[in-house]
Amino acid sequence: MIRIVIADDHTIMREGLKRILDGAPDIDIVGEAIDGFEVLGHVRKGGFDLLLLDLSMPGRSGVDLIRQIKAEAPKLTILILTMHEEEQYAVRAIRAGAQGYLTKESAGTQLVGAIRKVASGRPYISTEVAEQLALNIMMPHESLLHKQLSDREFEVFSLLVAGRSITEIANSLHLSVKTVSTHKTRIMQKMGMSSLSEMVQYAVAHRLLSPFKT
């Protein structure tokens, strides 16, 4: 039996995932979490084998949360289920310690198989993500500007180019406005850009725009 905890802040999504998994006799949902703090509570309590984790939740989230989970429970299997389709998000999640990456659009047909695969110790990633990971290994110093950003900076960058304001980003990531502004300044310095429009043009050119949840 694969005991899993579902972490997603949207009730409708959690209920939908439970319906998908209802027909799997070898999967048992033993808990739910609606934010990063509840996720860490489950991790510290233990009693489950796999965390089905949304990348964008209130509180601590994204790659930072994955890293903390792996630091506290290195053997826990993490399968990312997210709105982000772009390979860059998947690569950062996998490098942080996730064993699999699945988009919510694919959940209806691929979720059960993905859970079984990562629970057996094998990774679950798309061909595109596998290629991106291979490129990172073969060309670790590739000159794409966004690869110079830290995981948190990349998260802020992604929200900025998606049209979020500094205040909205601060609220979403539970950071201060000053901290987000500092991240924005560092992002522009690292990428050699002087305006948000330049960042948006870069994101469009490199397929980095993502449908963030509201």
CA–CA distance, 204 with 105 (Å, rounded to integer): 21
Q: Is the pLDDT of residue 90 over 50?
A: yes
User: What distance in Å separates the CA atoms of residue 160 and residue 173, rounded to the nearest whole number?
Assistant: 12
Please compute the mean of the pLDDT values over residues 72-90 and round it to a whole number: 84
Confidence band for 211, pLDDT divided at 50, 70 and 90: very low
What does the pLDDT read at residue 136? Answer: 65
pLDDT above 60: residue 119: yes
DSSP code at position 124: B
pLDDT at 129: 73
Question: Does 146 have pLDDT greater than 60?
Answer: yes
Q: Is the dihedral of CA 166, 184, 161, 37 positive or negative?
A: negative
**Angle 174-62-40 from CA coordinates, rounded to 5°:** 75
Nearest partner of 89 among 205, 165, 203, 214, judged by Cα:
203
In whole numbers, what is the pLDDT of the chain averaged over residues? 87
Please tell me the pTM assigned to this model: 0.70
- Of 5-19, 65-79, 98-112, the one with minimum mean pLDDT is 98-112
Q: Running DSSP on this structure, what letter comes out for residue 209?
A: -
Helix, strand, coil percentages (3-state) for the chain, rounded to 5, are: 55, 15, 30
Taken in order of first residue, the domains within the chain and their CATH numbers are 2-137 (3.40.50.2300), 145-205 (1.10.10.10)
Q: Is the pLDDT of residue 214 over 50?
A: no
